[in-house]
């Protein structure tokens, strides 16, 4: 049984060795905007996030904190859940790799790979980075460190291996047959050349520590944390029961959103594991760029990790969500600065959209007895603005499908700008004395355009959009995208007193409070 209009989107599951920061918030907010967009567009959506709790890195951090790895994982996992709540994340599930449903699935996946002859026991000797939880070849090292700058250690131990080398041709055929399988395009090319250059078998177990899922039949080994972690995407939908309603509806995933640093795991190892276990690879993996903070790489030693809680407290969650998705092309790197956030917040949100709505709704409240005004025919200018607003949804769909969030927002804000030009040109305040009917038509046009804008910005700024729709008396059931086709504001509908939905950011005077950076 497959449902046609369904959409399964995931974030990476976050390591519990660190508290949530801006980078985690980024992937999660992007996935949320997409999940909300697809839901509003009538899709049955599954949006999954969670925490990655096993591995040497977590074991070491727990030891340093003087508590058990499970207790440590419980604590940090809870802070990732709290981050999701704080940012209005609409995930349908939150998976933890220490849950029984996950362990059961990973064991089944291992056994299936073993049954199909994809796993063998061998001897590993090579470089391992605990920070990256990744193996590196001698030729990849730079000045004795991993290409990511992380320290590496020499590991020589008995390991289980996955026959990755067998999957080179099949992976290339999969990329070939699915041009959308990896985005953005530049990253796709990198992955393809990496696979073309030849694949070694992959070590998938470790023996030096114990915080992991034991290898079935040989509990001296724990599974490599990436095999364990990647499997979350299927364990959360019921694997190994591939006939379960969730699995049959939602697999293969429509989109794994990841940062560029973990693309290889998702676009090479994961599809190979899946194909080797007789499952379909994901439809698409998209790798976003990295944020620096005020020009510097975020790092513990520099002490410039920005907790999402602080950002939310300073700017509010709508502004933060908007900034993250508007400021950068989603695949590119960029810089997070207080100045840039305030410019977006006060410019795009408060001045452009906020003022438009506040001006129009306040005029209606004052001059149209607080009701949706009655239009008396539409002029060419009215029609042009209404048509621009009507054109938004069809323009946005392909952009969201490509994860071009910044272009989607730019497209919406072009209509905001057009509406602002329209207000200035029509000058409804001047019509109050000279042509009341015309004023009513102009204000109706504006209210209807604002309704459309508010519906369409819901995925990005859900709180403000909701408040705006309340102020237009739009019923909760008339807020899905279908309402863009089917309904219009009805003249005579009473409207509550309008209130600004995008307040300006005003820096506080005391030192250290003018921003989180
Ligand atoms: N646990 C693995 C993922 C397993 S998925 C099966 C992991 N976790 S992580 O917590 O280290 O990173 C999660 C995500 O945060 C990655 O997608 C990473 O790219 C992202 N970011 C971490 N720092 C970042 C920035 N400075 N900027 C943008 N995103 C960054 O990797």
DSSP string, 251-320: PSPSEEEEEGGGHHIIIIIHHHHHHHTT-PPPS-EEEE--EEETTEE--TTTT----HHHHHHHH-HHHH
Helix (H) or strand (E) holding 194: helix 185-196
**Helix, strand, or coil (residue 21):** coil
Q: What ligand 1 atom has the least distance to the C-alpha of 230?
A: 6
Cα–Cα distance for residue pair 207/375, rounded to 1 Å: 75
Q: Count how many Cα atoms sit within 13 Å of the Cα of residue 325 in the half-sphere of its side chain.
A: 29
Q: Is the CB of 259 under 6 A from ligand 1?
A: yes
Q: Kindly report the protein residue whose alpha carbon is nearest to atom 8 of ligand 1.
A: 14
> What are the distances in angstroms from CA 311 to CA 133, 279, 317, 321?
29, 40, 8, 10
Q: Is the CB of 262 under 6 A from ligand 1?
A: yes
Domain ranges of the chain: 3-288, 311-486
Compute the distance from residue 215 Cα to the ligand 1 centre, in Å.
26
285 phi, psi to nearest 5 deg: -125, 130
Q: Is the CB of 14 under 6 A from ligand 1?
A: yes
Q: Is the CB of 257 under 6 A from ligand 1?
A: no
Cα–Cα distance for residue pair 459/45, rounded to 1 Å: 13
Residue 50 in tokens: 């969670």
Q: Kindly report the protein residue whose alpha carbon is nearest to atom 22 of ligand 1.
A: 23
The partner residues of 158 in beta bridges, in order of sequence, read: 123
Residue 95 in tokens: 């998976």
- Burial class of residue 308 in the structure, from the number of CB atoms within 10 Å of its CB (0-12 exposed, 13-18 middle, 19+ buried): buried
To test ligand 1's pocket by mutation, which of 22, 262, 403 has the most ligand atoms within 8 angstroms of CB?
262
Q: Is the CB of 236 under 6 A from ligand 1?
A: no
Scan for tokens 């950076």, then name that residue.
Answer: 517
Cβ-contact 97, 232 below 8 angstroms: yes
How many helices and strands, by DSSP H and E, does the chain display? 22, 16
The partner residues of 14 in beta bridges, in order of sequence, read: 51
Cβ density class 382-421: b for 16+ within 10 Å, e for less:
beebbebbeebbeebeebbbbbbbbbbbebbbebbeebbe
Q: What ligand 1 atom has the least distance to the C-alpha of 14?
A: 10
What DSSP string runs through 409-473?
HHHHHHHHHHHHHHHHHH-HHHHHHH-HHHHHHHHHHHHHHHHHHHHHHTTTSHHHHHHHHHHTT
In this predicted structure, what is the pLDDT of residue 408? 98
- Closest to 114 (Cα-Cα) out of 162, 171, 157: 162
**C-beta atoms surrounding 176 within 10 Å:** 10
In this predicted structure, what is the pLDDT of residue 133? 86
Scan for tokens 């080398």, then name that residue.
Answer: 165
Q: Is the CB of 261 under 6 A from ligand 1?
A: yes
Q: Is the CB of 290 under 6 A from ligand 1?
A: yes
Angle between helices 392-401 and 22-40 (to 10 degrees): 130
Cα–Cα distance for residue pair 251/134, rounded to 1 Å: 27
Cα–Cα distance for residue pair 78/16, rounded to 1 Å: 10
Scan for tokens 């029984």, then name that residue.
Answer: 100
State the fold for domain 311-486: Isoleucyl-tRNA Synthetase; Domain 1 (1.10.730)
Compute the distance from residue 397 Cα to the ligand 1 centre, in Å.
27
Q: Is the CB of 27 under 6 A from ligand 1?
A: yes
Residue 377 in tokens: 């025919």
Compute the distance from residue 15 Cα to the ligand 1 centre, in Å.
8
- Closest to 248 (Cα-Cα) out of 283, 279, 276, 273: 279
Residue 484 in tokens: 């863009």
Q: Is the CB of 12 under 6 A from ligand 1?
A: yes
- Sequence-ordered strand ranges (E) for 27-100: 44-52, 93-96
Q: Mean pLDDT, 10 residues at a time, over the chain (517 residues)? A: 79 94 96 98 98 94 95 97 97 98 98 98 91 87 90 92 98 98 97 96 92 96 97 98 97 98 97 98 97 83 82 95 97 94 97 98 97 98 98 98 98 98 97 97 98 98 98 98 94 97 82 49
Compute the distance from residue 204 Cα to the ligand 1 centre, in Å.
21
- Is the Cα torsion angle 31, 186, 300, 293 positive or negative in sign? negative
Tell me if domain 3-288 and domain 311-486 are identical in fold: no
> CATH assignment of 3-288, given 3.30.1330.10, 3.10.420.10, 3.40.50.620, 3.40.50.2000?
3.40.50.620
Say what the pTM is: 0.95
Edge-first strand order for the sheet with 214-215 is 205-206, 218-223, 214-215
In this predicted structure, what is the pLDDT of residue 135? 87
């Amino acid at each position: 049984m497959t449902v046609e209009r369904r959409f399964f989107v995931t974030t990476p599951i976050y390591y519990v060795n660190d508290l949530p920061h801006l980078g985690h918030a980024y992937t999660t907010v992007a996935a949320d905007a997409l999940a909300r967009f697809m839901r509003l567009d009538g899709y049955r959506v599954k949006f999954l996030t969670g925490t990655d709790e096993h591995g040497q890195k977590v074991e070491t951090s727990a030891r340093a904190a003087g508590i058990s790895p499970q207790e440590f994982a419980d604590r940090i996992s809870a802070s990732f859940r709290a981050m999701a709540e704080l940012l209005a994340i609409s995930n349908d599930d939150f998976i933890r790799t220490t849950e029984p449903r996950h362990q059961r699935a990973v064991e089944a996946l291992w056994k299936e790979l073993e049954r199909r002859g994809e796993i063998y026991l061998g001897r590993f000797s090579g470089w391992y980075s605990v920070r990256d939880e990744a193996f590196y070849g001698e030729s990849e090292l730079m000045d004795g460190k991993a290409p990511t700058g992380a320290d590496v250690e020499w590991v020589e131990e008995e390991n289980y291996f996955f026959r990755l080398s067998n999957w080179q041709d099949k992976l290339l055929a999969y990329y070939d047959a699915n041009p959308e399988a990896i985005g953005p395009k530049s990253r796709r090319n990198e992955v393809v050349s990496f696979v073309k250059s030849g694949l070694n078998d992959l070590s998938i177990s470790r023996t030096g520590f114990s915080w992991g899922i034991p290898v079935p039949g040989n509990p001296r080994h724990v599974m490599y944390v990436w095999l364990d972690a990647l499997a979350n995407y299927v364990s959360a939908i019921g694997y190994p029961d591939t006939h379960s309603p969730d699995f049959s509806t939602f697999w293969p995933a429509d989109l794994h959103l990841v940062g560029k640093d973990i693309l290889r795991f998702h676009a090479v190892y994961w599809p190979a594991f899946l194909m080797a276990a007789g499952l379909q690879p994901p439809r698409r993996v998209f790798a976003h760029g990295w944020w620096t903070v005020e020009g510097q790489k975020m790092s513990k030693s520099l002490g410039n990790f920005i907790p999402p809680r602080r950002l939310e407290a300073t700017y509010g969650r709508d502004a933060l969500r908007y900034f993250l998705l508007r400021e950068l092309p989603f695949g590119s790197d960029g810089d997070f600065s207080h100045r840039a956030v305030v410019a977006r917040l006060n410019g795009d949100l408060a001045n452009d959209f906020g003022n438009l709505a506040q001006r129009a709704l306040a005029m209606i409240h004052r001059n149209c007895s607080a009701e949706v005004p009655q239009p008396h025919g539409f002029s060419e200018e009215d029609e042009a603005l209404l048509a621009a607003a009507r054109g938004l949804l069809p323009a946005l769909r392909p952009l969201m499908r490509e994860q071009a969030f910044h272009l989607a927002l730019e497209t919406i804000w072009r209509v905001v700008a057009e509406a602002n030009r329209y207000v200035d040109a029509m000058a409804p305040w001047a019509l109050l004395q000279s042509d009341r009917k015309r004023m009513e038509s102009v204000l109706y046009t504006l209210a209807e355009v604002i309704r459309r804008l508010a519906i369409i910005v819901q995925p990005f700024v859900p709180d403000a959009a909701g408040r705006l729709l309340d102020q237009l008396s739009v019923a909760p059931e008339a807020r899905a995208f279908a309402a863009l086709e089917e309904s219009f504001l009805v003249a005579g509908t009473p409207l509550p007193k309008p209130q600004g939905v995008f307040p300006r950011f005003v820096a506080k005077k005391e030192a250290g409070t003018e921003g989180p950076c």
